Amino acid sequence: MQYHIIVYGCQMNISDAERVSAVLECIKYKKTSNMSEADLIVVVMCSVRQSAVDRVHSLAEKFQEIKKKNPKLKTILTGCILKKDKRIFVNNFDYILNIKDLKRGNKLFAVPGPLVPQDKGGYQQTEKSFLPSDYLNITPKYSSKFSACVPIMTGCNNFCAYCVVPYAREREVSRSAKEIISEIKNLIKKGYKEIWLLGQNVNSYKDPSTSSGQAINFPKLLNMVNNIPGEFWIRFTSSHPKDFTEEVINAMSACKKITPYLNLPIQAGDDQVLKSMNRHYTVKEYKAKIKKLREKIPDISLSTDIIVGFPGETRKQFNNTAKLFYEVKYDFAYINKYSKRAGTAAFKLKDDVSTDEKKRREKVLTNILKKTALEKNKKLIGKETTVLINENRDEEYFGKNEQYKTIKVKSKKNIIGQLVKVKINQVSPFTLTGKLYE
């Protein structure tokens, strides 16, 4: 039997897909890249944007065509799903599975006998044992042999006006530090070079297995991961500015394995818009945290998330965001044009910024970003940097350095998955080119 998996959305969804693959492969399914050859198709969906939901609709139509040739085909929808989306897709999929119920996988796929994790990875059927009660403790079928995503928590308590995550992922639930450290230690033993700690808001992590007086919070967890023996990088996402404390900054500065890179989403550079978004911080507070961060980690690379054209955002308020871009000088940014999403608080607001104006605002921020990013990158010409190579096209290899900048080098040898030294000799706003040190 063969399965095909389709993933939309963030790194958390990718991590979820790796756990789905683990369950399927331990019950004898084999992965195929050809959807038409599959006996089972699994879609790990994202409910955050309507466009992602629309893509799932178009997939469902394709599945009906495949089923005409293969009537035995089964389809499963899982991932980040709103209740209203479940109702919409109930007739398009054979099963709709809450990702937290992945532990029921052996029953869902009609395979007799429960499954238990093995010391060397994977699962074995037994008569008395069972899958972990928490799906996050299922050992994933990692999609990379050198970079791994390790969820430390799931869900969100923030209820930003434009976001459905608290409804789709439910409230925050943290994993125990013991389980996280165990997973990472096993990865380092296997030679992994990069560990991403994942959560909808990693800064609010609290180990549920410790008492309040001795609770392991996110900064303490960072120190614990940093103390694991081995040569590897630590990265994390996502961070909410309201919970990004000086203690986190100090941990980032003290832990040598944490790379000098941070995505800190501002979303808008105007206090009134931030209030409408229900973000619970001001621009002044945000900039103060950036200042402390750069004082402690001078070489840090910064990115952010922005929504342009949020309901009620005036040109003057948008200009405050443009001003912020000039001041902060981000290395890169994820700029999104606001679109209505049913199920959010903002859906009730009038979408009163025209499409053309949203495009204009996006272009303004992109042009500022290109200018400031290029200025910063020019200072790196002639400098040496360490790069984790993750992609190749013929003899051109691409990777990310410690500051998460995209680096391009040429090599006749296969260097995928290696940490290599590169001397930068050419730059653009978002890609640096260098020469490989042999």
Domain match, 75 and 183 both: no
Domain match, 105 and 220 both: no
- Residue 265 covered by a domain: no
At 204, the amino acid letter reads S
Q: Which residue has the higher pLDDT, 331 or 168?
A: 331
pLDDT tier for residue 212 given thresholds of 50, 70 and 90: low
- 121 DSSP 8-state letter: S
Asked whether residue 113 carries a pLDDT value surpassing 50, the answer given is no
Domain match, 207 and 150 both: yes
Domain match, 252 and 153 both: yes
Domain match, 107 and 162 both: no
Give burial (CB, 10 Å; 0-12/13-18/19+) of 121: middle
- Residue 207 covered by a domain: yes
What pLDDT digit, counting tens, does each position of 278-325 carry?
A: 999 999 999 999 999 999 999 999 999 999 999 999 999 999 999 999
Asked whether residue 211 carries a pLDDT value surpassing 70, the answer given is no
d(CA 263, CA 319): 22
Asked whether residue 375 carries a pLDDT value surpassing 80, the answer given is yes
DSSP letters along 281-295, please? --HHHHHHHHHHHHH
Residue 420's φ and ψ, nearest 5 degrees, are -125, 155
Q: Which residues contact 414 (CB under 8 A, 6 or more apart)?
A: 392
d(CA 8, CA 25): 21
Domain match, 173 and 59 both: no
pLDDT at 288: 98
Average pLDDT over residues 79-104: 84
pLDDT at 147: 97
Domain match, 184 and 121 both: no
- Residue 285 covered by a domain: no
Pairing of strands 396-401, 384-393: antiparallel
Asked whether residue 114 carries a pLDDT value surpassing 80, the answer given is no
- Residue 21 covered by a domain: yes
What pLDDT digit, counting tens, does each position of 399-438 carry?
A: 999 999 999 999 999 999 999 999 999 999 999 999 998 6
Q: In CATH, what number is assigned to the domain containing residue 72?
A: 3.40.50.12160
The domain boundary, picked from 216, 241, 259, lies at 259
pLDDT tier for residue 108 given thresholds of 50, 70 and 90: low
Q: In CATH, what number is assigned to the domain containing residue 180?
A: 3.30.750.210
The domain boundary, picked from 125, 153, 172, lies at 125
Average pLDDT over residues 240-246: 97
- Residue 280 covered by a domain: no
Per the structure block, which two tokens stand in for 421?
């030294």
Q: Which residue has the higher pLDDT, 425 or 109?
A: 425
pLDDT at 90: 86
Domain match, 95 and 161 both: no
- Residue 327 covered by a domain: no
- Residue 391 covered by a domain: yes
Domain match, 58 and 105 both: yes
Q: Which residues contact 54 (CB under 8 A, 6 or more apart)?
A: none
Q: Which residue has the higher pLDDT, 215 or 211?
A: 215
d(CA 6, CA 41): 8
What pLDDT digit, counting tens, does each position of 130-152 carry?
A: 456 678 888 899 999 999 999 99
Quick check: 136 and 177 in contact, CB under 8 A?
no
Q: Which residue has the higher pLDDT, 342 or 151?
A: 151
Q: In CATH, what number is assigned to the domain containing residue 405?
A: 2.40.50.140
pLDDT at 103: 63
Domain match, 172 and 119 both: no
Domain match, 181 and 101 both: no
What pLDDT digit, counting tens, does each position of 149-185 carry?
A: 999 999 999 999 999 999 988 899 999 999 999 999 9
pLDDT at 395: 83
* Residue count (the chain): 438
pLDDT at 111: 43
Range(s) of the domain holding residue 416? 384-436
**How many domains does the chain divide into?**
3
The domain boundary, picked from 201, 231, 259, lies at 259
Average pLDDT over residues 348-376: 97
- Residue 310 covered by a domain: no
Domain match, 185 and 108 both: no
